[in-house]
Amino acid sequence: MQKALVDPARLDAESAEWLQALAGAGPRREAALARLHERLLRIARREAARRGPRLAISGPELDDVAHQAAADALLAITAKIGQFRGDSRFTTWAYKFVIFEVSAKIGRHFWRHPVVPLGAEDWDRLPARFGFDPAQQAEWRDLLAALRRAVDSELTPRQREVFVAIVLNDVPLDTLVLSLASNRNAIYKMVFDARRKLRASLAANGYLPDDSSRR
């Protein structure tokens, strides 16, 4: 375990107590680890339950996500405790790990059980993804045709692949991270650049208002 480098005098009393207990040895440290795990599990369960209904995961599977997330978060926290700078309460810093673990485990679940094959490409899904009313197709048909042309002509093959997965197939970004062996920041940046290019193309062709006129 890394040793915390932050000056305990800078911390609130509870955070200082956590750091001292976790840096120690014997029963005091074991008790602190058990207490922290209990809190992490409570938060993991609530977080998994909060996300569960939208993700069609429930029951024992959801509880399994929570248990794994709490266990892995505890390992990460003890391994990285030297990175705690005291810029928040210790528990807030620690809870961040368990929230990230729940995210990652749910992303992994979808990677193993995809609702739509990751490589599928059904452009008929596009209107519904943005909530366009089928009864008013005459109003938006040209816009979405222009969007599809821009996807094909303006994006790099990798940007196009990511756009299709996220927008057409509704693949969670964290699932795509696993599928492409990448990281959240890199995939987000790719989507960010794709959005910017597509909006510029649609604005240049008069389908959307020009950004400069709104700022």
Partner 1 sequence: MNGWSVLDRFLRTDPRDAGCAEAMQMLHVYAELVASGAAAQQYPGIAAHLRACGPCGEDFEGLLAAVCDEAQ
Which residue ranges make up the site for partner 1 (CB under 8 A)?
Answer: 43, 46-47, 50-51, 87-89, 91-93, 95-96, 99-100, 102-103, 127, 130-133, 140, 143, 147, 167, 172-174, 183-185, 188-189, 192, 195-196, 198-199, 202, 208-209, 211
Residue 120 CB, shortest distance to partner 1, in Å, is 20
Q: Which is nearer to partner 1, 149 or 195 (CB)?
A: 195
Backbone angles phi, psi at 118, to 5 degrees: -60, -30
**Tokens for 186?**
């890199």
Return d(Cα 211, Cα 87) in angstroms, integer.
37
Return d(Cα 177, Cα 52) in angstroms, integer.
20
Q: Which is nearer to partner 1, 161 or 174 (CB)?
A: 174
Residue 23 CB, shortest distance to partner 1, in Å, is 20
Q: Which is nearer to partner 1, 22 or 95 (CB)?
A: 95
Q: Which residues contact 210 (CB under 8 A, 6 or more apart)?
A: 203
Residue 67 CB, shortest distance to partner 1, in Å, is 17
Residue 38 CB, shortest distance to partner 1, in Å, is 13
Q: Which is nearer to partner 1, 8 or 127 (CB)?
A: 127
Q: Which is nearer to partner 1, 24 or 211 (CB)?
A: 211
Burial environment of residue 62 by CB neighbours within 10 A (0 to 12, 13 to 18, 19 or more):
buried
DSSP 148-169: HHHHHHHS-HHHHHHHIIIIIS
Residue 40 CB, shortest distance to partner 1, in Å, is 10
- What is the number of H-type helices and E-type strands within the chain? 9, 0
